[in-house]
A and B are shown apart, each in its own frame.
Chain A
Amino acid sequence: MAVISTAGLARTFDTKRGPVHAVRGIDLTVEAGEILGFLGPNGAGKTTTLRMLTTLLAPTGGAATVAGCDLLRDPVGVRRQTGYVAQSGGVDPSIRVREELVTQGRLYRLSKAEAEARAEELAHELNLTGLLERKCAALSGGQRRRLDIAMGLTHRPAVLFLDEPTTGLDPGSRSDLWDLVRRIRAQWGTTVFLTTHYLDEADALSDRLVVVDQGRVVAEGTPTALKTRYAGSPDASLQDTFLAITGRGVAPQDTTPIAV
């Protein structure tokens, strides 16, 4: 059963310098329990699509259902069942980690006791236990990112949207996060919709990939199918496949850092 399905989902921004067609009509479906890698070069419309699917941004065209709820008619139903980790996070630097986690649980309508227990549990899962009494401003970039992810998992959502979840994480934390995502899916059947510029991550984690460029879907399939089709061999690198699909590489600052 499709947990996410969109039909012609589009968003145009009106700016002083004319309209920006960020998303030009996206059709896709994501099955229950699937991990979908949503790829595309900078400015392709990934974040805009996620913001529409999480009810933050009204589409200017098309329709979608998320977790059985119509995006436009039942946004509250969508919100109850989805978690969202934004590309740039969402914690207040002046507030303590524990308070942010508990507040987040309460915003998702957990009782006070539940929210407090859940904060401990999440801190444990994301390796934040020793940091609960710190202000968010006093976390390192990677610790902050782990907190952002914990915030998105608070209510054990049926659908989890992760916008570049591992940007800024060290290799150890990245593979920990991959394990966590796999574990959540195995344990709770969570559907995961994630964007990333790390192609090794997309390759390792995703059941299926959707590649967008200039606001449109330009390719989709399992990593193996895409490699075979666009780079000529199932053993080709996803990097070459991505280049063949979009006609260009990922921006240099977004590629996996190479030790020099």
Chain B
Amino acid sequence: MTTLVSDTALVFGRYARQTLRSKMQIFFGALMPVLYLLFYGPLLTAMPLASRGSSWQVLVPGLLLQLGLFGAAFCGFAIIIEKQHGVVERMRVTPVSRLALLLGRVLRDAALFVFQAVLVILVALAMGLRAPLPGILIGFGFVAAMTVSLASLSYALALRVSTPQSFGPLVNAVNMPAMLLSGLMLPMSLAPGWLNVLSHFMPFRYLVDAVRAAFVGDYGGTAMLYGVLVTAALLLASVATGTRLFRRAGA
């Protein structure tokens, strides 16, 4: 257990230092959601999106998770390059824990995207978002959990493919429907019945609904309950998948 913690800290440190060296990467990820806030948010302020609260309380949770979705899903790119340099095999040949090889990386990713989420919230507050602090903190928690699970899956997929060219299109093919069906941009409550039903098969929808509930101060309802359950299941399945791939990364 203590070796797992120290192994994870070691791997985390290596990748965190790499991230800190690239200020570009740190801020660039927040650019897309901030642009949405500036040029898309104002369109929604006059619309009656929310049954409770303002449109900002509907839009901002979506943007936070969009940050996680698009950021984390592409994390695997880095490991394809590392694999080509032999770095992955070099680490796998050491006694370091396989779980730590994954966790060190995904925790770095989670730290990065939570930092960007803080930037997005600051801009959103300036634009007019008003939401309870505990709700916002819960939102960060969901961003972190979503990053950890998606990044794990992204690394797992990246360990199986051999070139970045085959990785990008695959990720996009999953991400686009995930974004549309989870109601990131507009709540699924606006959708016709069939679409609403379909979206219930998209796990991220429950995360989005939970964060929206948190932003209006509803911490004990079914949205939160489902959100937490789905997130826990996602975390478990994706971390297990990622670790398995580090254990026997094939080619």
Please determine whether A90 and B90 come into contact, CB atoms closer than 8 angstroms: yes
Determine if B90 and A86 form an interchain contact, defined as CB atoms under 8 angstroms apart. Answer: yes
- Whether A92 contacts B82 in the complex (CB less than 8 A), given A56-B92, A79-B93, comes out as yes
Specify which chain B residues have a CB less than 8 angstroms from the CB of A92 in the assembled complex: 82, 85, 87
Q: How far, in Å, is B243 (CB) from chain A's closest CB?
A: 14
Chain A, 19-59, CB within 8 A of any chain B CB: 51, 54-56, 58
How would residues 59 to 100 of chain A score, 1 for a CB under 8 Å from any chain B CB and 0 otherwise? 000000000000000001001101010101111111100010
What are the residues of chain A within 8 A of B92 when measuring CB–CB? 55-56
Q: Are B85 and A109 in contact (CB under 8 A)?
A: no
Task: Given A90-B87, A90-B89, A92-B85, answer yes or no on A104-B94 (Cβ-Cβ < 8 Å).
Answer: yes
Q: Which residues of A contact B91 (CB under 8 A)?
A: 107
The contact of A56 among B10, B14, B89, B96, by CB within 8 Å, is B89
- Chain A residues near B23 (CB-CB < 8 A): none
Q: Which residues 13-34 in B have Cβ within 8 Å of A in the complex?
A: 14, 17-18, 21
Q: A94–B95 Cα gap in the complex (Å)?
A: 24
Q: Nearest-CB distance from A23 to chain B (Å)?
A: 15
Residue of A nearest to B100 (CB): A107
Partner among B14, B89, B93 whose Cβ is within 8 Å of the Cβ of A103: B14
B223 to chain A, nearest CB (A): 43
Q: What residues on B are CB-neighbors of A89 within 8 Å?
A: 85-86
A56-B89, A76-B95 known; A94-B18 Cβ under 8 A = yes
Residues 77 to 104 of chain B near chain A (Cβ within 8 Å): 82, 85-87, 89-96
**Nearest-neighbor residue (CB-CB) of A54 within chain B:** B93
Contact A108 B95 (CB under 8 A): yes
Q: Which residue of B lies closest to A84 (CB)?
A: B93
State the Cβ distance, B20 to closest chain A Cβ, in Å.
13
Is A217 among interface residues, defined by CB-CB distance under 8 A? no
Q: Which residues of A contact B85 (CB under 8 A)?
A: 89-93
Q: Is the CB of A90 within 8 A of B86?
A: yes
Residues from chain B with a CB closer than 8 A to the CB of A104 are 90, 94
Q: Give every chain B residue within 8 A of A80 (Cβ-Cβ).
A: 95
Contact A108 B94 (CB under 8 A): yes
Please state if B93 and A55 are interface contacts (CB–CB under 8 Å): yes
Bound-state Cα–Cα, A24 to B248, Å? 21
Please, how many angstroms separate the alpha-carbon atoms of A54 and B93 in the complex?
A: 6
Question: Is A151 an interface residue when CB atoms closer than 8 A count as contact?
Answer: yes
Q: Is the CB of A107 within 8 A of B18?
A: no
Q: Within the assembled complex, what's the spacing in Å between the Cα atoms of A103 and B17?
A: 12
A174 within 8 A of B: no
A95→B22 CA distance, assembly (Å): 12
- State the Cβ distance, A161 to closest chain B Cβ, in Å: 9
Residues 92 to 138 of chain B near chain A (Cβ within 8 Å)? 92-96
State whether the Cβ of A106 lies closer than 8 Å to any Cβ in chain B.
Answer: yes
Query: Which of A76, A90, A93, A99 has the most chain B CB atoms inside 10 A of its CB?
Result: A90
B248 to chain A: which residues have CB within 8 Å? 58
**B7 and chain A: residue at smallest CB distance:** A107
The answer for the CA separation of A104 and B11 in the assembled complex, in Å, is 11
Question: Could you tell me the distance in whole angstroms from the C-beta of B26 to the nearest C-beta in chain A?
Answer: 16
Name the residue on B nearest A106 (C-beta).
B10
Chain B residues contacting A79 (CB-CB under 8 Å) are: 93-95
Most buried by A among B14, B18, B94, B96: B94
| Residue among B14, B17, B87, B90 having the largest count of chain A Cβ atoms under 10 Å | B90
Contact at B95–A86, with CB atoms within 8 Å? Answer: no
Q: Which B residue sits closest to A136, measured CB to CB?
A: B85
Knowing A106-B10, A107-B96, A108-B94, the reply to whether A88 touches B18 (Cβ < 8 A) is no
For residue A13, which residues in chain B have a CB less than 8 angstroms away from its CB? 251
Cα A99 to Cα B90 with chains together (Å) = 15
- Report A-chain residues with C-beta under 8 Å of the C-beta of B95: 76, 79-80, 107-109
A216 to B87 Cα, complex, angstroms: 29
**Closest Cβ–Cβ distance, residue A55 to chain B (whole Å):** 7
Query: Within the complex, what minimum Cβ distance (angstroms) separates A230 from chain B?
Result: 34
A104 CA to B93 CA in the complex, in Å?
A: 11
Contact with B along A156-184 (1 / 0, CB 8 A): 00000000000000000000000000000
The 6 nearest A-B residue pairs measured at CB? A90-B90, A90-B86, A107-B94, A79-B95, A84-B93, A107-B96
Known: A86-B86, A86-B90, A109-B3. 6 other contacts (CB 8 A): A79-B95, A90-B87, A94-B21, A104-B90, A104-B94, A106-B10
B interface list, Cβ under 8 A from A: 3, 10, 14, 17-18, 21, 82, 85-87, 89-96, 248, 251
A-B CB contact pairs (8 Å), 19 listed = A79-B94, A82-B93, A84-B90, A84-B93, A86-B86, A89-B85, A90-B89, A91-B85, A91-B86, A91-B87, A91-B90, A92-B85, A93-B85, A99-B17, A103-B10, A103-B14, A107-B91, A108-B94, A108-B95
